[in-house]
Amino acid sequence: MDLNYYNRYPGDYSRDTAHLSLIEHGAYALLLDTYYATEKPLPMEKKQLYRICRASTATERKAVDVVVAQFFISDGDVLRNARADQEIGSALARQAAARENGNRGGRPRKTQPITEQEPSGFHIDNPGGTQEEPSGKAVQDQDQERLKEKRTTLSGDAGRCISWEFLAGIIDGEAQVRLNRYEQNGSFTIIPRITIYNTNFQLLESIRSGLGIGSISSRERLNLNAKDLHEINFTRDEISKIVEHCSEHVVAKKEQFAMLADFLLHWPEDKTYCEALHKRTKHLNARGKPDADHLINGKTPSFRSEAIEVLQFLNEKTGRKFREGDTNLKLIVARLKSGASVQDCKTVIARKHRQWAKDDKMWPYLRPATLFNATKFENYLGECVPPEEEKRRVE
């Protein structure tokens, strides 16, 4: 349905709101706008109501509380407005009748002769040519069928529907697909997770109501200039349904979905295999580009122990005490990751020690910051030749 509420729902609320203050009247209008835009009741949680009304001060929030208490009634976990429900129901009924009229072919042209053959959209037992209106029960049945369909139109984005294909696209761009491992008292469990993060609460609410799955939670940002972040999570059964319907549509998360499907098939019967899936999924979701050349048994080595060995060699040659902290080790680790071996690093140290040990000007540069600088190290390593070759050149 389009969002021109005031034409679609032309009710006069002026008498009901004449006693309200300007702030309260504004809150009432914003709440009704949301009610008509989504065509469903408002959430019960006050934070969501304040967010709808953009109420940030105590006065504004009190105005929202006053309006909610006077014009809305609680119905389970939602708030309803009787007049809005009536207007929405009437609009849906008119829309259903119009659709039915279109399906029957619409009204005939005035010049169209009425023959004995039944025209499209008319019944033989209705010779007067007037179209039969659906009964009230028929309209309700049609509305129920419409609500059962797992598709809904996003507010403000006419033509886009919440379908499994649409959800797959949102998951590709906005979701984390992972396996969470929890350990307690010597045993562990693994839980599949699909979490969609977004600052657009209405988008997540449309997914929840349109597909009938998921639960939404929100967190307020400490930065007042940042929008609040919302997330929607799903139960294991809901994830199983998502995997079934979305696997053929996801692109960026295709490998994660394949592992989810594999996990759902083997847990909890084969926990060892599922633990391996957890590690593979964790590697897939790791930030940065995986370096396949440096993988050992599926894991990326840290090179820390090798870097410590190189640093200890430097301390032995120079008689210094460079500490095994990140400042010194990260330079050596970077050279090892780039392809240098431990022996390459020791060779550079030994050569530079021979050259600089008796040079008062160069002696201070026998340090990690100089020796393992990316550009300088490659130059130093390129200078290194076997001892016999260096002796031959001198002769």
Identify the CATH number of the domain in which residue 256 sits.
Answer: 3.10.28.10
State the angle between helix axes of 22-38 and 46-53 in degrees (0 to 180), rounded to the nearest 10: 100
Residue 63 has pLDDT above 80, yes or no: yes
Categorize the per-residue pLDDT at 129 as very low, low, confident or very high, splitting at 50, 70 and 90: very low
3-state secondary structure the chain: CCCCHHHHCCCCCHHHHCCCCHHHHHHHHHHHHHHHHHCCCEECCHHHHHHHHCCCCHHHHHHHHHHHHHHCEEECCEEECHHHHHHHHHHHHHHHHHHHHHHCCCCCCCCCCCCCCCCCCCCCCCCCCCCCCCCHHHHHHHHHHHHHCCCCECCCCCCCECCHHHHHHHHHHHEEEEEEEEEECCEEEEEEEEEEEECCHHHHHHHHHHHCCCEEEEECCCCCCCCCEEEEECCHHHHHHHHHHHCCCCCCCHHHHHHHHHHHHHCCCCHHHHHHHHHHHHHHCCCCCCCHHHCECCECCCCHHHHHHHHHHHHHHHCCCCCCCHHHHHHHHHHHHCCCCHHHHHHHHHHHHHHHCCCCCCHHHCCHHHHCCHHHHHHHHHHCCCHHHHHHHHC
Residues 17 and 71 in one domain: yes
Residue 69 has pLDDT above 80, yes or no: yes
Categorize the per-residue pLDDT at 356 as very low, low, confident or very high, splitting at 50, 70 and 90: very high
Residues 315 and 261 in one domain: no
* Count of structural domains, the chain: 3
Residues 283 and 250 in one domain: yes
Q: What does pLDDT average to over the chain?
A: 77
Q: Which of 125, 119, 83, 87 is nearest to 104 (CA)?
A: 119
- The stretch 11-36 carries a mean pLDDT of 73
- The stretch 79-105 carries a mean pLDDT of 78
End-to-end CA distance of the chain: 93
Please give the Cα distance from 134 to 184 (Å, whole number): 61
Judge whether 126 lies within some domain. no
Residue 222 has pLDDT above 70, yes or no: no
State the angle between helix axes of 22-38 and 82-103 in degrees (0 to 180), rounded to the nearest 10: 30
Which of 257, 287, 317 delimits the end of a domain?
A: 287
Return the top range by mean pLDDT from 34-38, 146-150, 157-161, 330-334.
Answer: 330-334
Residues 280 and 170 in one domain: yes
**What's the domain range around 71?**
5-85
Judge whether 171 lies within some domain. yes
Residues 386 and 341 in one domain: yes
pLDDT at 181: 87
- The stretch 375-391 carries a mean pLDDT of 72
pLDDT at 88: 84
Residues 189 and 260 in one domain: yes
pLDDT at 137: 58
| CA distances in angstroms from 387 to 384, 393, 395, listed in the order given | 9, 10, 12
Residue 165 has pLDDT above 70, yes or no: yes
Categorize the per-residue pLDDT at 298 as very low, low, confident or very high, splitting at 50, 70 and 90: very low
Judge whether 299 lies within some domain. no
Residues 255 and 309 in one domain: no
Which of 39, 68, 85 delimits the end of a domain?
A: 85
Query: Which tens digits make up the pLDDT trace of 232-291?
Result: 999 999 999 999 999 999 998 888 898 899 899 988 888 888 888 888 887 777 765 544
Judge whether 144 lies within some domain. no
Judge whether 169 lies within some domain. yes
For residues 85 and 129, the model is more confident at: 85
pLDDT at 8: 46
Categorize the per-residue pLDDT at 125 as very low, low, confident or very high, splitting at 50, 70 and 90: very low
Residue 83 has pLDDT above 80, yes or no: yes
Residue 143 has pLDDT above 50, yes or no: yes
**Mean pLDDT lowest among 54-68, 90-104, 109-123, 290-304:** 109-123
Q: Report the largest interatomic distance among the alpha carbons of the chain, rounded to a whole angstrom.
A: 121
Residues 176 and 273 in one domain: yes
Residues 318 and 344 in one domain: yes
Categorize the per-residue pLDDT at 105 as very low, low, confident or very high, splitting at 50, 70 and 90: low
Residues 176 and 203 in one domain: yes
Categorize the per-residue pLDDT at 142 as very low, low, confident or very high, splitting at 50, 70 and 90: low
Residues 23 and 59 in one domain: yes
For residues 184 and 315, the model is more confident at: 315
Long-range contacts for 49-56 (Cβ within 8 Å, ≥24 apart)? 49/79, 51/201, 51/228, 53/26, 53/27, 54/30, 55/27
Which of 56, 85, 114 delimits the end of a domain?
A: 85
In contact, 294 and 337? CB cutoff 8 Å? yes
Residue 379 has pLDDT above 90, yes or no: no
Percent of the chain with pLDDT over 70: 72
